[in-house]
Structure 1
Amino acid sequence: MQKTLLTKLSIIVGLCIVFSIGLTMISDIIYERQYYAESVIKEITEQHVNPQEVINPFIAIPTTVTPACQSNTSDTPNIKSKCEPSYSKIKTMFASQTQATQNLKVNTETYKRGIYSATSYDGQLTFDQSYTLDKTLENLDQVGTTIDDDADKTQLAKTITHWNKAKLIIPVSDLRGVATLPTVTINQKSIAANYPQIPMIENLTYVEVDIPKDVLEQLSSPTSQHNKDSLATTGSINKNLDKSEVNSQLSNPKDNQALHIVIDLPLAGISNLTTVPTGQNFTLSMHSDWQTPNFIGKALPNTKSITAAGFDASWQNQYLTVANNQYLSQCLSTPNHQCIITSESTINTDSQSYNPDSFEASRGLTTDSAAVAGSNQGALLNSFGVSFASPNDVYLQTERAMKYALLLILVSFGTFFLFEVLKSSRIHPIQYLLVGCALFVFYVLLLPLAEQIAFWQAYMVAASACVGLIGWYSYYVFGGFKRAVIFTATLAGLYAAFFGILSTEDLNLLLGAIFCFVLLACVMVMTRKLDWYKVT
């Protein structure tokens, strides 16, 4: 009899190994379906709109720089000079104060392909900005020349700032999500935004606004526009003239003046929305009707409130804002626009949120992270925002359910075996195999059902079907109604306990460990008086 018992245990262990291989195959199916779902969402983004990233608007001024010429100190009578070619760069002016608000409506019905859908959002972004115009002369570049005390220079370096071409830049990663051009108000004057005909910043996607003439005069004139122009037309300044003397030739400066800009930007996107803060004081407030936000990026919200009606969150991080100012201004000031602007959020993206590989340099805000790391001509900007994570990620939940599959099969086989040992029931290995197949089919049913209906509904339907089938079959296996009810109730309790463990994301490991301990304790208590040597 002992030999028969060992043979039966060996068969049970063999069946468990076979079913574990089958569960691995089901896991492969889950990954395949998940990959297919992501490919469908990627196709939707390519045809409609991508996850969006918005940089806080700023003013860009094109500049032409002519380097100083170095004289050749050879002994030849004709002195030749070595001159580097002129190059262009961008000067930036950031807002001294920005209050950004984002009001978003999120749904999963806008973009659907069969049973798959992309979580999309549509809303209004408002930037309320103030620019402080400092009227003191900070450097001589503003008057068009650079002083150099090197006697070997035959021509001084010259910088020409093209104030008449200054633009308000509103960067958006995917302009397909901007249904209508934004409404821009500058000092209470409505100005039309346009798509750039010839992009001033080649590696950035944006819409631009022509700054009115009166505002340009404020921007370009550190003191008096007339006196500034008279100095700029001289082409050079005596190198013995110091900064204080230049200031004395200008009219009396005015104190700081404020430039007020309001931007109303309609925006649509998919899955994620991140914002790159710039300026001096940047505050972002976001409101949405989505109940399960996943906050991403380099900073979490300073305050947040999540209710059944949606969520409210606000960000303010001075360090990230100042760092972005430095990175962005340095990048745009590189000669001939050779710098690539890259966002931190597109490199460090949460693994559970969708991040299509089309979110790259051709769209303007991102590029390959390895290329950025290996290049000196790159600016890595910091951002923060939200990922609209789906509350019913069927693939993740099914995968988590699979982790308890082998335990479920072991407990079911162990219950059968205890009935056979304690109640002297004769159960054939084929009957073990059939019950194991019924338990296996539960996971085959769970995934396709969860793709069609809510996960808890799919779990309930699949579990009820398997428990009902096994309960009906156990009546004939045990040859009695009472034993069949006990086994069916035990199996139903297992499914219910596993669903409870799956529903508690933060405590699932702890509850799973406690559950395993309780099961082992129950088996040890039930068999504590059993003499295994006398088992017949």
Structure 2
Amino acid sequence: MEIQHLPPQQNKFSQWLKTSITARMLMVGFLVIILLIPLSFINNLINERAFRQQDVVNEINQKWGNNVLVYGPMIKLPYKTYTETKTYNEKTKTYFKETQIHKKYAYIFPEHLNAKVDVNSKTLKRGNFESAVFTTQMDFNGQYIPVDLTSKGIKSEDIIWDKASIVIKTSNLKGIKSEVQIKLNNKAYSFETNFNQNNNSNLDILESSFINGSDAFKTKKTDFTFSIKFNGSTKLELIPIGKTTKMEMSSNWADPSFIGNYLPNDETKSISKKGFKADWKVLYINRAFSQQHLKKIPNLNQFAFGTKFMVMVDEYQKSERSAKYGFLVIGLTFLVFFLIQTLSKINIHPFQYLMIGLALTMFYTLLVSISEHSNFLKAYLVAGISVIALITLYSKSILKTFKFPLFIGASLSALYTFIYVIIQLENYALLVGSIGLFLILAIVMFVSRKIDWNNG
């Protein structure tokens, strides 16, 4: 029987792959790059689940009630304007003057606007997802001063006083859960939806029945009160149209985020596990719009302020941040195996490196799937312990000793703990991460100093 021998070049190449440090480094680097492919798929999976969560949250909010924004109450006062046209008569050789009357509207904001807002918040769940919703009782009171439009070029006799009304705009018409009436000097007026109003924003309009403005707004101050009960979600805001606007808000929600152009007073603000209380005060000088507007209601949404009610723990965001460190985890783990292989002369096959890398990527799929049914810490512990145990046991079969697998298990435990700490930090994440990477680099430099890099 004839024995076939491999060509000398092939023998040399195989021997180079087994013994050369450079070859092992190239092989490890190539495998790290290859494992970026499943990591990218995992990132896509996390984003897909996050988008699915947002879709479910939007669906819950649409059925319960959307964001609540209140803009009002404001006086809607019709007035007359006049235009003259001249027509030339050929027969009489004279000009004929014709006066046309047009009806326009002025909108007057209150002198004082006070709001007392009581919010009962809760979370609604659908499957693995949840959304923050609330029911709020909003009680308003304030005062109008006598209306004078002479500064706008409008005479009192041109105002149609008996066709005055009150207008309130809101972002959540279908979320209103009570009849809306306004009392002007203890006389009640009901509201109806007005779809014919020239609306330059995405807010719906409620308009009261006609009010005799000669009695209510012409010569004396007028006090008003009204209440609205809403089912809403995510945000509750008010536009400060009063010359002095005050809002008091209390809720059982423990994680409020105060939003908008104006923050609550620090002296009176209190937040605890049972909820929060906050007070706002906005003065006329704090905002860039006047108390009287002609022709149309201005869009003042940018001046709104209030509170955002959100589920603060975003498991998908934490999973995404964790997955961003996947390249670091795989690279450092392969580096540990490479140093062990180089220092101990134990041969590790590329397929074994690949299996270890795939086990590391499985950590993120476990993390995402478990966190949908539990909190992030429990999911992180279960996924981390499972992957570390798997790699440690697999290392035992490769390295044929207990010393190196235990070291690998301890290294992975420290690495996953380090990443978890970075994820939890916000202001100091960059600082802690930089210090940690510096220490890792120092350890690698210390260990690798004994390797003869000239051999291979």
State the TM bucket, normalised to the shorter chain: 0.7 to 0.9
Deviations 1:209-231 (A, max 9, x none): 44765x751413x3xxxxxxxxx
Match of 1:96 in 2: 111
- What secondary structure is seen at the aligned counterpart in 1 of 2:104? strand
Match of 2:184 in 1: 186
Q: Distance in 2 between matches of 1:136 and 1:516?
A: 68
1:191 corresponds to which letter in structure 2? Answer: A
Matches within 5 A, 1:258-273: 258-273=221-236
How much has 1:401 moved relative to structure 2?
A: 0.8
> Which is worse superposed, 526-535 or 459-468?
526-535
Assess, with a 3 A threshold, how the Cα gap between structure 1 residues 500 and 197 changes in structure 2: closer, same or farther.
closer
Match of 2:120 in 1: 105
How much has 1:449 moved relative to structure 2?
A: 1.8
Match of 1:208 in 2: 207
Deviations 1:38-65 (A, max 9, x none): 22333334444221211132222223x2
Assess, with a 3 A threshold, how the Cα gap between structure 1 residues 171 and 121 changes in structure 2: closer, same or farther.
same
Which runs of 5 or more structure 1 residues have no equivalent in the other structure? 145-158, 223-256, 345-381
Match of 1:233 in 2: none
Assess, with a 3 A threshold, how the Cα gap between structure 1 residues 320 and 423 changes in structure 2: closer, same or farther.
farther
Assess, with a 3 A threshold, how the Cα gap between structure 1 residues 451 and 88 changes in structure 2: closer, same or farther.
farther
Match of 2:7 in 1: none
Structure 1 residue corresponding to 2:30, chosen from 14, 30, 33: 14
Match of 1:239 in 2: none
Matches within 5 A, 1:66-465: 66-71=81-86, 77-81=93-97, 83=99, 85-109=100-124, 112-133=125-146, 141-144=154-157, 159=158, 161-182=159-180, 184-187=182-185, 189=186, 191=188, 193-196=190-193, 205-210=204-209, 216-220=214-218, 222=219, 257-303=220-266, 304-318=269-283, 322-325=287-290, 329-330=292-293, 333-334=294-295, 341=299, 343-344=301-302, 382-465=303-386
- What secondary structure is seen at the aligned counterpart in 1 of 2:142? strand
The alignment covers a number of residue pairs equal to 435
1:219 corresponds to which letter in structure 2? Answer: F
Deviations 1:82-134 (A, max 9, x none): 54x5333222222211222222122222xx43222322121111222122237
Alignment pair present for 1:508 and 2:433? no
Assess, with a 3 A threshold, how the Cα gap between structure 1 residues 104 and 77 changes in structure 2: closer, same or farther.
same
Q: Distance in 2 between matches of 1:481 and 1:140?
A: 93
How much has 1:405 moved relative to structure 2?
A: 0.9
Q: Distance in 1 between matches of 2:454 and 2:194?
A: 90
Q: Distance in 1 between matches of 2:353 and 2:320?
A: 25
How much has 1:179 moved relative to structure 2?
A: 0.7
Structure 1 residue corresponding to 2:54, chosen from 38, 41, 53: 38
Assess, with a 3 A threshold, how the Cα gap between structure 1 residues 315 and 475 changes in structure 2: closer, same or farther.
same
Q: Distance in 1 between matches of 2:251 and 2:289?
A: 26
Q: Distance in 2 between matches of 1:51 and 1:218?
A: 33
How much has 1:292 moved relative to structure 2?
A: 2.5
How much has 1:495 moved relative to structure 2?
A: 0.8
Assess, with a 3 A threshold, how the Cα gap between structure 1 residues 489 and 419 changes in structure 2: closer, same or farther.
same
Q: Distance in 1 between matches of 2:132 and 2:175?
A: 14
2:132–2:234 CA contact under 8 A, matched in 1: yes
2:232 corresponds to which letter in structure 1? Answer: G
> Which is worse superposed, 472-481 or 293-302?
293-302
2:167 corresponds to which letter in structure 1? Answer: I
Give me the identity figure in percent: 28
Q: Distance in 1 between matches of 2:153 and 2:328?
A: 76
Deviations 1:137-186 (A, max 9, x none): 87884432xxxxxxxxxxxxxx3x23222222222112111111235443
Q: Distance in 1 between matches of 2:319 and 2:286?
A: 41
2:138–2:228 CA contact under 8 A, matched in 1: yes
1:184–1:263 CA contact under 8 A, matched in 2: yes
2:270 corresponds to which letter in structure 1? Answer: S
How much has 1:488 moved relative to structure 2?
A: 0.6
Q: Distance in 2 between matches of 1:165 and 1:305?
A: 45
How much has 1:438 moved relative to structure 2?
A: 0.7
1:293–1:386 CA contact under 8 A, matched in 2: yes
2:118 corresponds to which letter in structure 1? Answer: N
Q: Distance in 1 between matches of 2:352 and 2:84?
A: 94
- What secondary structure is seen at the aligned counterpart in 2 of 1:532? coil
2:123–2:132 CA contact under 8 A, matched in 1: yes
Q: Distance in 1 between matches of 2:152 and 2:388?
A: 81
How much has 1:282 moved relative to structure 2?
A: 0.9
Structure 2 residue corresponding to 1:56, chosen from 48, 72, 75: 72
How much has 1:441 moved relative to structure 2?
A: 0.3
How much has 1:17 moved relative to structure 2?
A: 0.5
Which runs of 5 or more structure 2 residues have no equivalent in the other structure? 1-14
Structure 2 residue corresponding to 1:483, chosen from 404, 407, 414: 404
Match of 1:356 in 2: none
- What secondary structure is seen at the aligned counterpart in 2 of 1:195? strand
How much has 1:342 moved relative to structure 2?
A: 6.0
Q: Distance in 1 between matches of 2:145 and 2:349?
A: 86
2:64–2:233 CA contact under 8 A, matched in 1: no
